Amino acid sequence: SGTDQILQVYWGTEHGLKTLKMPTCILFNQKQQFRKFGYDDVMKYKSLPPSEADNWYFFQNFNMKLYNTTKVTSGMELKASNGKTLPALMVFSESLHYLREHALNTIQEASFQTVCNQEEISWVITIPAIWSAAARQFVRLAAREAGLASDMISEKLIIALEREVASLWCKQL
């Protein structure tokens, strides 16, 4: 029914962990191809021999770069743990794409394979209230690149402030 809720309660259970929040980490291989996100990524990166890990791109807590950077632009770069850089847009859009696929798979498994019309899905991305208008626009651009919206003004993509979403959730509880 319309009131059913599917919750992702814990992350990292496949690694013997049980946390409410997934680490904001992403891993790209030496060919700059997305490999892993979150706990999977940390475990994979730690398992690489040091000589190989040096050629990979490991980004941790990269979301804070949108707050710490004075000028957020679509062409800005992010520095990986080894000092190499990749376009920030690529890092953010691959992260959002991973989370999109994870959400769709979770919905499909919980719905007993009921076909879900992706056109009917509205996506909500929460961001800190302190982020600039440019940072919010950057997130919208990354979401479009990740396939969460067909265009920059799509009504199916909502960028919401964390404190407002938390307030609504408490109200519902």
Q: What is the pLDDT of residues 102-112, one digit of tens each?
A: 988 888 888 76
Q: Would you place residue 1 in the very low, low, confident or very high pLDDT band (cuts 50, 70, 90)?
A: very low
Query: Does the pLDDT of residue 154 top 90, yes or no?
Result: no
Q: Would you place residue 152 in the very low, low, confident or very high pLDDT band (cuts 50, 70, 90)?
A: confident
- Average pLDDT value for residue range 88-95: 97
Q: Would you place residue 157 in the very low, low, confident or very high pLDDT band (cuts 50, 70, 90)?
A: very high
Determine the Cα–Cα distance for residues 97 and 86; give it in Å rounded to an integer. 17
Q: What is the pLDDT of residues 21-48, one digit of tens each?
A: 888 999 999 999 999 999 999 999 999 9
Nearest to 36, CA basis, from 19, 20, 53: 53
